[in-house]
Chain A
Amino acid sequence: MLETTWFVLAALPLIAYAVLDGFDLGVGILHLRVAKTDDERRQVLRSIGPVWDGNEVWIVVGGATLFLAFPRLFGVAFSGFYLPLMMVLWLLVFRALGIEMRHLMPHRLFDRLWDTSFAVASALLAFGLGAALGNVVRGVSLDEEGIFFAPLWSDVFWPAPGAEGQTGVLDVFTVLCGLTTVAVLALHGALWLASRLEGVVAGRAANDAKRLYVAALVLTVALTGATAWVQPNLTHNLGARPVGIVFPALGAVSLAVLGHAIRTQRWARAFRASAAWIAFLIGSAAYAIFPYVLLARIPERSLHLSDAANLTHALTVALYWWIPGVLLGASYFVYAYRQLPARVPLHEDAGDDGDGADTSEE
């Protein structure tokens, strides 16, 4: 029970990360398309400037909570996915440069470089995070000792259950997961821009949102089928723990609400629906692997929740500070988001910017 509680708790910051950093990743994927002029690019960046770093903090909280709840998983999975994780870390650096350098070091020429860095790193990160989730759902090649080292790719391209050989990080299934994530987060970002910006950029983002919705829908349907194919544990869980059907079901409901909100141009509501959708997608993935924390290609080797979990005393005392701590942290976020302007204007004078006083230059 304690371990299951921590399974749920550990998923929460990861969901918060996907929903929050998800939109600024999406904004990164789209900004070269939707913002053409220098002012428009600055407008886009000003809409995420005060929050992106806070959004990213949830991946640190998520990683540390996984460590706290499941030290064995933290050791096995993080060292097993060594190379892809390191690349994710490098991409985070390029993305941060892309976002911050434009206002810390404005420059007519290099601004282009930062814009591209922001866009490419955001797209690759979204793809990488999706592929990572795909690996977790598909399962990895744990050996007799219960450890693995995933190559970036291998000759197993079709990861059917029981397929012989070492799986790599990239195969047909995980690439599909990656592409779906790019589409889903781009849509999420488009909805942020459509609901939070003034002027033409919001309009362009709204147009993109309509097309991205269709793409995300098609990819999600394909992915659902593919998941049932690669991961028999999902179908097994549907039989053994039918309550879990609520995750995909609520996901489908959010998707319907989202479609309707986009059609009726209610962007704030669409943004909330897409946040719910992302949350339920991850919830469904967690449900597909439960009660394991790391699935193996050879099912008997899968790492069970109770083998990975921390000792009882550590898990019990941690409940007393973790839950209040996260609630407190969430309240800071609510406060900080409330201070944002309803819609970010095109020019900074009309609103707020980082260096209030030096308008002399602009």
Chain B
Amino acid sequence: MDALTAHRFQFAFTITYHYLFPQLTMGLALLIAVLKYMGLRGNVRANEAARFWIKVFALAFVMGVVTGIPLEFQFGTNWARFSEASGGVISQTLAMEGVFAFVLESAFLGLLVYGEKRLSARAHFAAAVAVCVGTWMSGWFIIVTNAFMQHPVGHEVLDDGTIALVSLSAYLTNPWAFVQYAHTMVGSVVTASFVMTGIGAYYTLLDEHREHAALFLKVGIVAGVLSSIAIALPTGDLQSKMVAEHQPITFAAMEGHFETEEGAGLVIVGQPNMETMTIDNPIVAPRMLSIMTHQRWASRIEGLNEYPRAEWPDNVPLLYYAYHVMVGLGTMFMALMVLAAFFLKRGTLRKKRLLLWALLIATPFPFIANTAGWMTSELGRQPWLIHGVMRTADGTSLQVSGGNTLFTLLGFMGLYALLSLVYILALVKIVQKGPATGSASESH
């Protein structure tokens, strides 16, 4: 394996694995804060439910921490030339994330997990809010970093190739970052609400923990229906318009749009064929791409044919599939959650066993959708490391060979396989034990 491929593979693997956990913790932190708030208002079940979810949260948080630290380090270990060139800019937000976000969440996590008996109800609620704010801030700083790579602002390229920071405020208020943050955070709420709903459905189908399960379903479905709608409209829609405007090549590739057209159709399914530059077995919604992108019947959408191949993302079919998986799953999430909300409102959800089964089985899919979304944005960014400024091939650490990187990549794979096993065993144990009745503060 050549060094560039090994570096890219390792970063992609480790960050994709990492993001399985923060997408759960960021969303759960919000739902836990909501449950703690309901508890504060006198709902005893909500407080017990929060205690259960804090365990799920703590487990995922530990996983997020141990898999996150390697990412921070990899900027230096594997992407030394990128770090040296862009250190003036991206180090600001990476350090801010540490100073403002990680310190906050990790200081209060201990109080959230261990502190219920010692703290007053209010202080424990405050700890839940602090952890939530911490995780959401860490999301912001990392998204700003990534947004700079997608759409660099606030910088200047010097003669020696160094990327200098010109305006910190412009960098921190990158318009790309706002849209990306909104979409990513909503995606994280989708994950957490599907997990909460899924476990609620599981207990309901088993007829265990009745009252708690009803609460999980209620909170999960309300959050789920809101976030499943918001993930498409307005946030997903804004994302695609932004990509169409600033990264037209990426846009054409992810839509599977090879030839420039006026009144372009939207490819719903089909397989990109890179030899013939067409979509095999296509199902196309005529004119929809033009309508969705420009709100015009016959607007012109550039195809990949307009651009030299060296400017194309290097894996067009994977990019196309990733995008279509995300959008396809998003559509299904919306349908499922709207249906569930309908029966929840009518009060007959408990009896709809088929729907409960669907909600249970849906639990892992938001993880897939989020991963596919990130693959869309990261593969779509290729061949650029910083869009229009620095190529991915110019960012690696020169002295770290492919062989050494493959060694560590295999090491991470083995280690993360072990982590997954332990995580699943521990999660199953928590779910089997289930939420308990009783109150920690009563025993005071």
Contacts and interface: CB of A to CB of B under 8 A. Distances in A.
A54 B96 contact: no
A333 B113 CA distance: 16
A336 B108 contact: yes
Interface residues of B, number: 79
Contacts of B100: 325, 328-329
Interface of A: 46, 49-51, 53-54, 56-57, 59-61, 63-65, 67-68, 71-72, 74-83, 85-86, 89-90, 92-93, 96-97, 100-101, 104-105, 147-149, 310-311, 313-314, 317-318, 321-322, 325-326, 328-329, 332-333, 335-336, 339, 341, 352-358, 360
Contact of B111 (A57, A93, A339): A339
Contacts of A57: 98, 102-103, 106
Contacts of A313: 88, 164-166
17 contacts: A53-B62, A53-B106, A60-B69, A61-B99, A65-B95, A67-B94, A71-B87, A75-B76, A78-B77, A83-B404, A96-B66, A104-B58, A104-B62, A104-B430, A314-B164, A356-B117, A356-B440
Contacts of B98: 57, 60-61, 63-65
B114 A332 contact: no
Interface string B431-444: 00100111110010
B107 A56 contact: no
A80 B429 CA distance: 42
A76 B80 contact: yes
Interface string B159-173: 000101110100000
B397 A352 contact: no
Contacts of B420: none
Those 3 A-B pairs whose CB atoms lie nearest each other, nearest first:
A71-B87, A78-B76, A356-B440
Contacts of B438: 357-358
B110 A92 contact: no
A80 B404 CA distance: 12
B271 interface: no
B65 A56 contact: yes
Contacts of A53: 61-62, 65, 106, 109-110
B234 interface: no
B66 to A, nearest CB: 5
B419 A71 contact: no
A339 B433 CA distance: 29
A339 B115 contact: yes
A56 B102 CA distance: 10
A79 B399 contact: yes
Nearest to B397: A79
Given A54-B109, A85-B73, A96-B66, A79 B80 contact: yes
A92 B75 CA distance: 18
B242 interface: no
A173 B157 CA distance: 42
Interface in B53-95: 55, 58-59, 61-62, 65-70, 72-73, 75-78, 80-81, 83-84, 87-89, 91-92, 94-95
B379 interface: no
A74 B425 contact: no
B314 interface: no
Contact of B436 (A51, A74, A318, A357): A357
A322 B96 CA distance: 7
Contacts of A332: 103-104, 107-108, 130
Nearest to B62: A100
B224 to A, nearest CB: 26
Given A46-B114, A329-B104, 14 more contacts: A53-B65, A54-B106, A54-B109, A61-B103, A64-B99, A74-B83, A74-B87, A75-B397, A78-B73, A96-B65, A314-B89, A325-B96, A336-B110, A357-B440
A352 B441 CA distance: 11
B95 A79 contact: no
A168 to B, nearest CB: 14
B397 A71 contact: no
B228 to A, nearest CB: 30
Interface in B4-27: none
Contacts of A89: 69-70, 73
A77 B76 contact: yes
Contacts of B415: 90, 93
Contacts of A314: 87-89, 91-92, 164-165
A322 B55 CA distance: 33
B441 to A, nearest CB: 8
B422 interface: yes
B76 A67 contact: yes
A242 B8 CA distance: 48
Contacts of A80: 399
A61 B95 CA distance: 6
A85 B70 CA distance: 9
A198 to B, nearest CB: 16
A62 to B, nearest CB: 8
Interface string B400-435: 100010011001000100010010011001100100
B167 to A, nearest CB: 9
A67 B164 CA distance: 14
Contacts of A321: 96, 99
B397 A104 contact: no
A85 B438 CA distance: 46
Given A96-B65, A101-B422, A82 B106 contact: no
Contacts of B436: 355, 357-358, 360
A51 B107 CA distance: 7
Given A61-B95, A65-B98, A54 B110 contact: yes
Nearest to A100: B62
Contacts of A339: 111, 115, 118-119
Contacts of A93: 66-67, 415, 419
- Greatest chain B CB density within 10 A among A59, A80, A101, A357 is at A357
Contacts of B104: 329, 332
Contacts of B59: 100, 104
